[in-house]
Amino acid sequence: MIDSAHFPLILLLDLLVIALATAWVLRHPREPRAMLAWILAFVVMPFIGVALFLLIGEPRLRRLRKRRRRRRERMEMVGHGVGRAAAPRLRASQARVARLIGNVAKHYPQDSHRVRIHLDGRQAFDDLEQALRGARDHIHLEFYLFRGDRTGRRIAEILIERARAGVACRLLTDFIGSMSLAGGLFPRLRRAGVEVVHFMPIIPWRGRWRMNFRNHRKIVVVDGCIAFTGSQNVGDEYAGLDRELGVWRDTQLEIEGPMVQELQEIFLEDWHYASGRELIGERYFPPPAAPAGDAVLQLVPSGPDLSVRVVQLMFHALFASAETEIAIATPYFIPDDALLLALQSAVYRGVRVRLLIPSRTDQRFSLWAARSYYAELVAAGVEIYEYPHGMLHSKVVVIDGGWAAVGSANMDERSFRLNFEVSLLVYAQDLGETLHHEFERLCAASDAFDRAASKRWSARQRFMLGLARLGGPLL
Among all residues, which ones are annotated catalytic? 216, 218, 223, 393, 395, 400
Q: Report the C-alpha gap between 385 and 401 in whole angstroms.
A: 18
Q: Which helix (H) or strand (E) holds 172?
A: strand 168-174
Is beta strand 383-387 parallel, antiparallel or unpaired with respect to 352-358?
parallel
Q: Report the C-alpha gap between 314 and 104 in whole angstroms.
A: 10
Q: Report the C-alpha gap between 464 and 462 in whole angstroms.
A: 5
- State whether residue 246 is helix, strand or coil: coil
Nearest-10 Cα torsion for 408, 130, 277, 65: -40
Q: Report the C-alpha gap between 356 and 364 in whole angstroms.
A: 16
Close Cβ partners of 127 (under 8 Å, ≥ 6 residues apart): 116, 118, 254
- Max Cα–Cα distance, the chain, nearest Å: 80
CA angle 72/76/82 to nearest 5° reads 70
Nearest CA to 312 among 410, 218, 387? 410
Q: Which segments of 389-455 are extended strands (E)? A: 390-392, 396-399, 403-407, 411-412, 419-427, 447-449
First CA to last CA distance, the chain:
38
Where b means 16+ CB within 10 Å and e means fewer, 77-91 reads eeeebbeeebbeebe
CA 356 and chain centroid, separation: 18
CB 103 within 8 A of CB 94: no
